[in-house]
């Protein structure tokens, strides 16, 4: 209570010696610059290969051509907003079929879950764009400024010509890479050769400049400046990760059962009574996240396995078996600590089987859907105003808008037949009266055609149902639409 | 305030405002730097904005507001946008002008263009009275049904839209005038009562037989010249068919009495001059498509 009253009370009670203000813990930690050292080994090689494949795919895919016929984009992978279609090699998705995209996202999420419960954060460590581009940017940084020790020295050194050109060169190359990243992004949304040429002649759409600019800046800042902070503070995946991994997942693990007690070792010392970890700090120096894997599983760790490479190299040098840091499960480590034989790693667990089964089901539905995809689609929209009109004869009439989507690359003529109500007559605006209740509807190649229909029926039940049957006489493909017919009692 | 006068709160180590209320003091915590930076940035932005854009309203003797260096005016922008739209439409409108109404309706491409254009024009200009989709209301004809007072053909609809109905400003307007039988004393109230029964009988409903008989000569004398001897109406004077189930002003006895007593001569303005010819053509095709026209 006394403290809350403030200083004027203190001076009167305790006299001149007011207590020093209590030290508050600073809640804001300044970022510590991380200088990852270059690792050598199996996982570093795998990461180089993955980087080459993912970046290669990203830059090359939009240039692949795929002939689809006259008047249709010939780009293999294209999200065509202007034409309202998505192309993926032999697959074409119309806006009406956006559920395939949803299915693809669900599959991707399930695959991520499955991989995570099997091998931990493989996505984060190897294929996440943030990881790949950061790795690339560090490679550039290393080319200009040298490895860890040289970079640390350079940063500490006063400004000099040497420092300026190295820093400047690095940032210029970073910006060039960033620009190519943003530039390649827009190729997925427009015809690649056209937009690439138009971009430089000022003929590309404004959105192309806008998004190229945004992606350039995000790449430059996220991969060049922010790096591990993106993973630690911005990305939701590390949080979700906690719910997806378990004690049976293969994670990058420091085997403390073997490593502890750690400590530096002199040549003449014996390995008896001590752990294999010689506290050389190599695993910390190569870590792009700036953490110590020996502290155990942690949010910041992206499981890139570079510490495994660093540690293995050290173990070979000091003549101990590799794998002090390795892909291992919590179950196995715990078993060894307790002196039991670690159980074999078993990939078939309830969780992984469930994920795989769900993927199989959704994938199966999608494949089935794609195989049996209709080549045309008919939508019938009943007029809502007026819902119906009463004619002078006492009959009722309803108006309908008919939309025919022709996904075929040839124009064709479909046969429309309306049935379901006794004595109903149909007319299509702009067409001759029907013959035997059938209409021939010409539809354009690869497009949407609209027709306006009027159906007249004698008074009867206020709500009846009409069947619109549309058939391609050549292939026999048929779609049926049930639509309501309204009239007062 | 000099440093000696600074009153530092011992608990937080922050300066206070120096005021004390019942021993409670207010901390004088400095504003967060990010907040200050944003604040300064908005001030700089405001100055730039005032220089570039219209900002200061008309001061005495100035006449108008400051136009700013960019000379930005929303009113001018709208005018430019409207002109741009006109230019954009010009090409398609030209095709509509060249084609006949039948061609527009049967050609799939022209039809879709005219229907889209007609739909938006109808919503802006016609739906106020005729209702969306031409559903109609009491006194305002339903355009989606098969009843046409004057003419339901493409050309007839175009004529009606162009010249209106009983539009005093338009020389070619469709015109007819039903006499106000009751109000002008042309018929006695009893005679009108009998006529109501006659009209009810015409439309195939139960009516007072004696009254129908009394009204027969009156109908032949007063009404048949426009509505026809058998009450089937007459198109060239816009006289409605009295024998069908459709009633523009209501079909019950009170409504019919009211119509005969006061007459109903409703108006529709001519759209010639308000809409260009291409718009009227598009509207004619649209209205014709609503109920299939004639």
Q: Residue A408: inside a domain, yes or no?
A: yes
Interchain CB distance below 8 Å, A6 and B108: no
Give the CA distances from residue B222 to residues B166, B177, B217, B242, B257, in Å, rounded to whole numbers and listed in that order: 22, 13, 9, 14, 15
Give the CA distances from residue A230 to residues A23, A34, A178, A242, B233, in Å, rounded to whole numbers and listed in that order: 31, 14, 17, 18, 81
Residue from the list B7, B24, B289 with its beta carbon closest to the beta carbon of A429:
B289
- Where would I find the beta strands (DSSP E) of A150-295? 251-254
Interchain CB distance below 8 Å, A393 and B131: no
Pick from A281, A247, A249: nearest CA to A264: A281
B85 and B164, same domain (yes or no): yes
Quote the CA–CA distance of A304 and A131 in Å, as a whole number.
9
CB-count burial class (<10 Å; 0-12, 13-18, 19+) for A126:
buried
A389 and A468, same domain (yes or no): yes
Which residues in chain B touch residue A450, judged by CB atoms under 8 angstroms apart?
A: 112, 115
pLDDT of residue A1: 37
Q: Is the peptide bond before B102 cis (omega within 30 degrees of 0)?
A: no
What residue numbers bound the domain in which B219 lies? 189-262
B26 and A CB contact within 8 Å: no
DSSP A398-423: EEEEEEEEE-SSS-EEEEEEEESSTT
> pLDDT (tens digit, 9 = 90+) per residue, A284-302?
999 999 999 999 888 899 9
Token output for B209? 């037989």
B144 and B255, same domain (yes or no): no
CATH number at residue B206: 1.10.760.10
A474 and A390, same domain (yes or no): yes
Question: A20 to chain B: nearest residue by CA?
Answer: B10
DSSP A165-195: HHHHHHHHHHHHHHHHHHHHHHTTTS-HHHH
Q: Pick the last residue of a domain from A96, A119, A151.
A: A96
B229 and B105, same domain (yes or no): no
Quote the CA–CA distance of B248 and A92 in Å, as a whole number.
52
Q: What is the mean pLDDT of residues A199-204?
A: 88
Total count of domains within chain B: 2
- What's the average pLDDT block by block, 10 residues per block, for chain B (294 residues)? 69 85 88 94 96 86 82 90 87 87 89 91 94 91 90 94 94 93 92 94 90 93 92 90 89 93 93 92 93 76
**CA-based angle A393:A394:A397, to the nearest 5?**
95
CB-count burial class (<10 Å; 0-12, 13-18, 19+) for B136:
buried
Interchain CB distance below 8 Å, A393 and B289: no
Pick from B276, B254, B287, B291: nearest CA to B101: B287
ipTM field? 0.72
pLDDT of residue A10: 40
What residue numbers bound the domain in which A68 lies? 64-96
Choose, out of A386, A390, A398, the residue to mutate when testing the contact with B (most B CBs < 10 Å).
Answer: A386
Residue from the list B11, B13, B145 with its beta carbon closest to the beta carbon of A390:
B145
Quote the CA–CA distance of A115 and A123 in Å, as a whole number.
8
Pick from A310, A305, A313: nearest CA to A289: A305
Min Cα distance B65 → chain A (Å) is 33
For residue A17, is pLDDT > 70? no
| Chain mean pLDDT for chain A | 87
Half-sphere exposure at residue B188, Cβ-oriented, CA atoms within 13 angstroms? 6
pLDDT of residue A15: 43
For residue A3, is pLDDT > 70? no
Token output for A351? 């969780």
B153 and B276, same domain (yes or no): yes
Q: Are B146 and A395 in contact (CB under 8 A)?
A: no
Give Rg (Cα) of chain A: 34
B210 and B155, same domain (yes or no): no
> pLDDT (tens digit, 9 = 90+) per residue, A339-355?
888 888 888 888 899 99
B123 and A CB contact within 8 Å: no
Total count of domains within chain A: 3
A381 and A482, same domain (yes or no): yes
Which residues in chain B touch residue A392, judged by CB atoms under 8 angstroms apart?
A: 145-147, 241, 244-246
Report the predicted TM-score, pTM, of the whole model to 2 decimal places: 0.68
Which residues in chain A touch residue B106, judged by CB atoms under 8 angstroms apart?
A: 430-431
Pick from B181, B178, B172: nearest CA to B226: B178
Q: Residue A42: inside a domain, yes or no?
A: no
pLDDT of residue A160: 92
Buried b (16+ CB within 10 A) or exposed e, A367-405: eeeeeeeeebbbbbebbeebbbbbbeeebbbbbbebebb
């Amino acid at each position: 209570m006394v403290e809350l009253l403030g200083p004027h009370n203190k001076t009167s009670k305790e006299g001149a010696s007011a207590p020093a203000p209590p030290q508050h813990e600073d809640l804001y930690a300044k970022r510590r610059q991380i200088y990852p050292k270059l690792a050598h080994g199996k996982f570093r090689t795998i990461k180089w290969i993955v980087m080459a494949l993912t970046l290669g795919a990203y830059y090359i895919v939009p240039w692949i051509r795929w002939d689809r016929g006259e008047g249709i984009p010939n780009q293999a992978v294209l999200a065509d907003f202007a034409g309202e279609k998505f192309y993926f090699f032999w697959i074409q998705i119309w806006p009406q079929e956006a559920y395939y995209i949803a299915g693809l996202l669900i599959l991707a999420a399930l695959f991520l879950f499955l991989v995570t419960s099997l091998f931990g954060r493989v996505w984060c460590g190897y294929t996440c764009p943030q990881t790949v581009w950061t790795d690339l940017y560090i490679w550039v940084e290393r080319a200009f400024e040298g490895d860890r020790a040289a970079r640390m020295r350079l940063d500490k050194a006063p400004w000099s010509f040497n420092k300026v050109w190295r820093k400047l060169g690095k940032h210029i190359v970073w910006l060039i890479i960033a620009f190519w990243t943003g530039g390649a992004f827009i190729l997925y949304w427009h015809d690649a050769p056209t937009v690439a040429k138009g971009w430089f002649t000022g003929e590309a759409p404004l959105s192309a400049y806008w998004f190229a600019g945004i992606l350039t800046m995000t790449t430059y800042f996220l991969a060049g400046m922010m790096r591990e902070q993106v993973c630690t503070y911005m990305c939701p995946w590390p949080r979700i990760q906690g719910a997806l991994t378990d004690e049976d997942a293969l994670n990058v693990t420091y085997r403390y059962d073997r490593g502890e007690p750690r400590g530096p070792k002199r040549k003449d010392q014996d390995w008896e009574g001590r752990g294999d970890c010689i506290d050389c700090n190599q695993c910390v120096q190569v870590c792009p996240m700036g953490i110590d894997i020996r502290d155990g599983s942690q949010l910041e760790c992206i499981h890139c396995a570079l510490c495994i490479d660093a540690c293995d190299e050290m173990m070979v040098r000091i003549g101990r078996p590799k794998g002090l840091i390795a892909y291992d499960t919590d179950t196995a480590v715990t078993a060894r600590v307790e002196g039991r034989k670690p159980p074999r790693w078993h990939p078939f667990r309830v969780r992984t089987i469930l994920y795989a089964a769900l993927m199989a089901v959704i994938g199966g539905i999608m494949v089935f859907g794609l195989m049996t995809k209709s080549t045309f689609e008919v939508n019938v929209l009943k007029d809502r105003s007026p819902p119906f009109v009463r004619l002078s004869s006492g009959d009722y009439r309803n108006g309908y808008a008919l939309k025919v989507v022709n996904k075929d690359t040839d124009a064709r003529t479909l046969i429309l037949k309306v049935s379901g109500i006794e004595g109903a007559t149909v007319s299509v605006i702009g067409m001759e009266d029907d013959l035997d209740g059938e209409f021939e509807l010409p539809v354009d190649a690869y497009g949407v055609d609209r027709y306006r229909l009027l159906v007249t029926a004698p008074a009867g039940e206020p709500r009846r149902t009409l069947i619109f049957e549309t058939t391609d006489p050549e292939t026999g493909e048929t779609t049926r639409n049930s639509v309501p017919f309204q009239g007062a009692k | 305030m000099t440093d000696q006068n600074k009153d530092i709160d011992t608990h937080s180590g922050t300066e206070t405002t120096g005021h004390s209320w019942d021993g409670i003091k207010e901390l004088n915590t400095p504003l967060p730097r990010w907040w200050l930076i944003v604040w300064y940035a908005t001030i700089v932005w405001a100055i730039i904005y005032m220089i570039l854009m219209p900002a200061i309203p008309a001061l005495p003797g100035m006449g108008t507001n400051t136009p700013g260096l960019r000379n930005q005016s929303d009113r001018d922008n709208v005018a430019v946008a409207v002109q741009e739209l006109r230019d954009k439409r010009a090409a398609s409108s030209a095709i509509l002008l060249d084609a006949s109404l039948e061609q527009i309706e049967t050609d799939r491409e022209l039809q879709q263009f005219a229907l889209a254009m007609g739909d938006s024009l109808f919503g802006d200009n016609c739906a106020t009275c005729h209702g969306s989709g031409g559903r109609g209301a009491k006194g305002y004809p339903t355009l989606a049904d098969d009843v046409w007072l004057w003419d339901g053909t493409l050309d007839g609809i175009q004529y009606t839209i162009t010249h209106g109905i009983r539009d005093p400003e338009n020389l070619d307007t469709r015109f007819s005038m039903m006499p106000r039988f009751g109000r002008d004393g042309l018929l006695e109230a009893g005679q009108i009562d009998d006529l109501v029964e006659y009209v009810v009988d015409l439309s195939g409903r139960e009516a007072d037989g004696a009254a129908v008989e009394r009204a027969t000569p009156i109908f032949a004398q007063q009404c048949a010249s426009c509505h026809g001897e058998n009450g089937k109406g007459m198109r060239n004077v816009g006289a409605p068919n009295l024998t069908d189930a459709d009633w523009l002003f209501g079909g019950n006895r009170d409504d019919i009495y009211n119509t005969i007593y006061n007459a109903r001569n409703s108006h529709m303005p001519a759209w010639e001059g308000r809409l260009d010819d291409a718009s009227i053509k598009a509207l004619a095709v649209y209205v014709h498509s609503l109920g299939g026209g004639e």
